[in-house]
């Protein structure tokens, strides 16, 4: 099932990231995964948090450009070739991966990887058909 990811527009200024994390801390929001995509002039912070609606609200209230988007979190076997197999399957299904990043924490023996894919419904179908396990929101928040 799709999971809510939060994207925040970031100028490359020292301190903006610290500001975001301390805002979330104040609201007792826990970051489960994060990645920063950046160019020389600006960046985008992407996060999976345990209270996404609240996080977007607090960030917007504090002047940040924040937006939630849907992603899929996938259990990837933590061994050589684990991710390769999944990517090959997506390629064969003509599903285009816009970006992906990994969770800090593992789930048992498996790594957790966040996938942003245009055609999210089709991707979930394919994951289900090929026995790749995707996580539900509740599972992620409880990690």
Q: Contact residues for other proteins (CB under 8 A)?
A: 5, 7, 9-11, 16, 37, 39, 41-42, 44, 46, 60, 63-69, 98
CA–CA distance, 67 with 11 (Å, rounded to integer):
16
Cβ proximity to other proteins: between 51 and 67 the closer is 67
CA–CA distance, 13 with 110 (Å, rounded to integer):
35
Tokens found for residue 51: 């209270």
Residue 125 Cβ, how far from other proteins at the closest point, in Å? 23
Burial tier of 74 (Cβ tally within 10 Å: 0-12, 13-18, 19+) = buried
Residue 60 Cβ, how far from other proteins at the closest point, in Å? 7
Cβ proximity to other proteins: between 46 and 75 the closer is 46
Cβ proximity to other proteins: between 75 and 116 the closer is 116
CA–CA distance, 17 with 98 (Å, rounded to integer):
23
Cβ proximity to other proteins: between 29 and 66 the closer is 66
Residue 54 Cβ, how far from other proteins at the closest point, in Å? 18
Q: How many residues does the chain have?
A: 143
């Amino acid at each position: 099932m799709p999971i809510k990811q939060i994207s925040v527009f970031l100028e490359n200024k020292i301190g903006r990231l610290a500001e975001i994390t301390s805002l979330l801390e104040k609201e007792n929001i826990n970051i489960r995964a994060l990645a920063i995509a950046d160019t020389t002039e600006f960046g985008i912070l992407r996060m999976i948090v345990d209270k996404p609606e609240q996080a977007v609200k607090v960030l917007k209230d504090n002047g940040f450009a924040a937006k939630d988007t849907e992603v899929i979190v996938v259990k990837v076997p933590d061994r050589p070739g684990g991710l390769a197999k999944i990517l090959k399957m997506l390629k064969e299904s003509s599903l285009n991966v816009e970006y992906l990043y990994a969770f800090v924490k593992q789930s048992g023996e498996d790594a957790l990887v966040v996938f942003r894919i245009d055609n999210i419904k089709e991707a979930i179908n394919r994951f289900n058909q090929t026995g790749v396990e995707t996580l539900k929101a509740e599972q992620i928040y409880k990690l």
